[in-house]
Structure 1
Amino acid sequence: LNFKNKLEENFKSVLPSEKAAFLSGLTLGEREDFSKEFKNKMSLSGTTHLVALSGYNISIIVVVIMAVLGGYLPAAISFYLTALVIVLFVLMTGAEASVVRAAVMGIIMLLGRHIGREYSLRNAIVVAAFLMILFNPKILVFDLGFQLSFAALLGIIYLSPVIKKIFKISQPGVLSWKENAATTLSAQFAVAPLLLINFGFFSLSSFFANILILPFVPLAMGLGFVMGGVGFVSYFLAKIIGLVLNIFLSYMLWIIDIFSKITVSVGLEKISPVAVVFYYFILIGAVLYANRKSEQL
């Protein structure tokens, strides 16, 4: 916790207060410094998930650490040190469901690479879910973060390929707006009923807000972690990195502000759990049908 606080202090010393608070949310899931107005803006624009710890955080940590250690230490030592840092990060940030899931999957991926086995995302998510439910069975029913985290990831894994085939999206890459649109749409299809049953509304404009923001999240997070780490050694270098980071954060906050003012949402006072189950049955059936259809072509 002391390291986490010092990292946040580095953010605050380099960036303006609102941007430092937003960066703390992106990288550490910390929302204490958010104003009520900003929380409301994120809710209306459907971007609150950006400050919920997830696989983005873990993947950025893995990339940074492996880049630093990979060329200097034996593979075994790099693996154990990276896994240790992931565990410490989970403990430091409060062990939320989404980050625990991402951590388990990240460690499984690292282990697979270490022992020379091919990494299966589908197997990893099953193992992650099983271990988390085994440790605390109540999260399956009572932890919304767990439900949203796995629903969104399952949507991306199974729905995204179908959407890409339908709209003939083949351009890969983090900055591809088509790729990002397919990923965003698949995740929103997967979590929509959970949001409706828990909050009574679902933001339609969030789709466009996320298309415009998500490509820049990994860049902002990566620069944020690097800036925070460099800040322990050199304020001057951290300030230089902060100048670049400030551009990305300003853009993201601008998009959040715009879409909080033009929000369009679907609202339902009450939705039956039976309707939610029925929705997922239809969604699963549609995915199975689409996959079978593509195999026949």
Structure 2
Amino acid sequence: MVSQARDNPYDKLKSLVRGLFLVFSYLYFPFACYTTLMKAKLFVFGMLNFAVGVATRTFFEIPFDYLLIVFGLVIGIFFIKKDRKIFALAMGLAGFIFGFFWLGFYELKTQPNINITNEVVAKVWDLEGSNQFQSQTYLVKPINSNFYVRTRTEKYPKYELGDTLRVSGVFKKNNDPRAQKDHIYYSVDYPKISYLEGFKKAKEYDYYLILKQKMVSLSFDLNTKIDQIYPEPYSSLASGVLLGGRSNFSKETLNKFSVVGIIHIVAVSGYNVVIIATILGHILKRAPRRFKFMAFAFGIWGFVLLTGASSSAVRAGAMASVLLLARFVGRDYYPLGSVLFASSVMIFSNPLILVYDLGFQLSFLAVVGIIYFYPLLSSFVKNKGLISETLLVTLSAQVLTMPLIAYKFGMISLVAPLANILILPVIPYLMATVAISVVGSFLLPSFGILVGFVGWVMMEYIFRTVDYLSKISWSSVQSSFTFWHMIIIYFIILDIRLMTLKHGKIKKEEDFLHSNSIAS
């Protein structure tokens, strides 16, 4: 079991109340949508409650027999009353029970199938991250196993994906569910590593690793070019904006970006790929719709590949692709249902991401925020251009992501709205400039440096703005923002949005599909 046992009875009671409140929160949403929008189909209701079941199982146990008894009672009442709402409740319970059962089955299925003592033969499976000057972190997969070992090594020598190694050291069992969601069950720091004779060419027969190596190599080459064009810390910002990485940022710089509320510009999330689609939408404004859809798909998944196709990037790409599909299919398409379907597929493949993957949570909330709040915000802007579209898309996403960020990090940025207004309009042009400078440098290095100067000016503006805003004494406040506060705020946001839809004061979510942003 990934869930942590709690010995204190008070903790168990608190978890029970929290779980029940979570269930109520999820049940409230589809019924409110059904009565207000008349679009919450039973399938959507079932998917929502599938997620509820997964989340509830994470927090506490419920005897499976009890769930089946309740489900049987609801089905019996439905056959007596023949009421549509009771049938909807039965569908919701079915989804809940399946989600509750599926998490338990998944945890059992993914437990390590072998034990590690002090040595293992493993294949390098992924490059997880690096410290710019000191260390390198790899994920290695023991032969014939179903899990990974997080292995921290010296900066050199470098190991390639697919290398088969003998790793000797002190292996520690990893009990952190945030690591276990990625099947990382052990860790080892600075082990003794040696190549195994006869295995050096084994990676030639693993096509997945060959493709992964190609993507990592391409990403490395692009980062190398960025380092040649831009000095630090500008190269880290350029890499973060274009490829979604922040490992080379200093802690001080990352803290400043967090304080002013713009850390999202250098993280791989649904926001990044939506901005790429927004840029493409304006470039291809007059192109045929089918061609634009293909260009959007190529741009989004090209970005995902350039980032190394990490799990967070793939999920963000999938979320953004749902929005593109919404526009391509047309007005009869129900975007929220498709986002929920895509999310349910991801949760089904790995139910631990629902509670323990912050990137997944933020990507989901960002996309839903864009669907439902872009029409509201855009109704106040008459003439929309690339700058206004970028700002509207970002602010729409932040409506739903900010409460979660405040809860997770215990900090509220008071200057975030101002920082986003001042900085976000520059981001699309900075992304384009960095991309042109990097591509141009492969053909003519001097051209890349010349274009890079324009990018340097924009990044200097960003750094100066961040530095100034972060020095304001009231720029951010530490808060005891609890889970309950977050839920209450989401209820308020949901009620306000549903109220505006019900009374027809703004355009509904379908208007987003026909706007000039991503879908244009």
Q: Which of these residues, 14, 22, 26, is aligned with residue 229 of structure 2?
A: 14
Question: 2:310: which partner in 1?
Answer: 94
Alignment pair present for 1:170 and 2:385: no
In the TM superposition, residue 11 of structure 1 has moved relative to its aligned partner by: 0.8
Which of the pair is proportionally richer in strand? Answer: 2
Structure 1 letter corresponding to 2:364: F
Structure 1 letter corresponding to 2:340: V
Alignment pair present for 1:216 and 2:426: yes
Structure 2 letter corresponding to 1:284: L
Question: 1:268: which partner in 2?
Answer: 479
TM-score normalised to structure 1 length: 0.80
CA distance in 2, matches of 1:80, 1:152: 19
CA distance in 2, matches of 1:93, 1:173: 31
Alpha-carbon displacement from aligned partner over 1:87-132 (angstroms, at most 9, x marks no partner) = 5335x15231xx324422455567788xx73385545533432332
Q: Which of these residues, 345, 369, 382, is aligned with residue 131 of structure 1?
A: 345
Assess, with a 3 A threshold, how the Cα gap between structure 1 residues 291 and 9 changes in structure 2: closer, same or farther. same
In the TM superposition, residue 141 of structure 1 has moved relative to its aligned partner by: 1.0
Alignment pair present for 1:146 and 2:363: no
In the TM superposition, residue 157 of structure 1 has moved relative to its aligned partner by: 2.2
Classify the secondary structure of the residue corresponding to 1:202: strand
Question: 1:31: which partner in 2?
Answer: 246
CA distance in 2, matches of 1:52, 1:242: 22
Q: Percent identity?
A: 33
Structure 1: unaligned runs, 5 residues or longer: none
Structure 2 letter corresponding to 1:103: G
Q: Which of these residues, 370, 373, 379, is aligned with residue 156 of structure 1?
A: 370
Structure 2: unaligned runs, 5 residues or longer: 1-215, 508-520
Structure 2 letter corresponding to 1:191: T
CA distance in 1, matches of 2:365, 2:266: 17
Contact 1:163 1:186 in 2 (8 A): yes
When the two structures are aligned, how many residues end up with a matched partner? 282
Alignment pair present for 1:238 and 2:448: yes
Classify the secondary structure of the residue corresponding to 1:175: helix
Structure 2 letter corresponding to 1:228: V
CA distance in 2, matches of 1:80, 1:186: 22
Question: 2:416: which partner in 1?
Answer: 206
TM-score normalised to structure 2 length: 0.48
Structure 2 letter corresponding to 1:40: N
CA distance in 1, matches of 2:463, 2:258: 13
Q: How does 1:31-110 map to 2 (within 5 A)?
A: 31-55=246-270, 57-58=272-273, 60=276, 63=280, 85-86=302-303, 88-89=305-306, 92-96=308-312, 99-107=313-321
Alpha-carbon displacement from aligned partner over 1:133-170 (angstroms, at most 9, x marks no partner) = 222111111111111222123223212333444xx332
Contact 1:26 1:53 in 2 (8 A): no
In the TM superposition, residue 20 of structure 1 has moved relative to its aligned partner by: 0.9
Structure 2 letter corresponding to 1:88: L
In the TM superposition, residue 17 of structure 1 has moved relative to its aligned partner by: 1.8
Of the two structures, which has the highest relative contact order with CA contacts closer than 8 Å and spacing of 6 or more?
1
Contact 1:162 1:291 in 2 (8 A): no
Which of the pair is proportionally richer in helix? Answer: 1
Contact 1:57 1:221 in 2 (8 A): no
In the TM superposition, residue 192 of structure 1 has moved relative to its aligned partner by: 2.7
Larger Rg: 2
CA distance in 2, matches of 1:103, 1:181: 20
CA distance in 2, matches of 1:203, 1:155: 19
Contact 1:152 1:190 in 2 (8 A): yes
